[in-house]
Amino acid sequence: GMYNRTYPSFPLSSVDFTPSTQRVIVTGTGTRFGIPLDSLGSGMRIGFRMLLGTLMMRDTILLVEEIDAFQHPESLSKLLSALVETARANRLQVFLTTHRAETIASLIEVVNDDEVIDGRVIPVALDSGGCLRSRTIPFKRAVEITGTGYDFRNFEDFIAE
């Protein structure tokens, strides 16, 4: 379900673990044989493992560094949507890091109309004295800001000295 919606170019019909080889074997829909998960592309492997992990978590915090690493832009949006869906269902608080404006825009788009999610963009930067500074920007405000064409990679504008 969730994996196939995120990565429709390789829909899975089954996932098996082979204890003797310590390998996860995935079988694509319409195929008669499985392949090791590690034979898939990096983005698919990372997405699969992340989704599998979140499905097993309940009432906890999930920290994901560089969620967009190795993800195709179209898959990233679907991965974020699946992550939000799972986080909501399993009551997870999720913290994501990124350097990409596209990731922030995709996440804001995924949760924009959701009144339950209390999302925030928190840019951080070193000031001229070497102190780490940050500022919390609620998603609703981030939507307004990005709607003007602003790029959050220029976040120093939001961080007071």
Q: Is the pLDDT score of 38 beyond 70?
A: yes
Distance between CA 140 and CA 10 in Å, rounded? Answer: 35
The values of phi and psi at residue 128, to 5°, are -65, -20
Asked whether the predicted pLDDT for residue 74 surpasses 60, the reply is yes
Residue 115 predicted with pLDDT over 80: no
CB proximity list for 102: less than 8 A, separation 6 or greater: 68, 73, 76
Q: What is the spatial distance between Cα 36 and Cα 99, in angstroms, rounded to a whole number?
A: 31
pLDDT at position 159: 61
Indicate the pLDDT class of residue 133, thresholds 50, 70 and 90: confident
Cβ count within 10 A of residue 37? 18
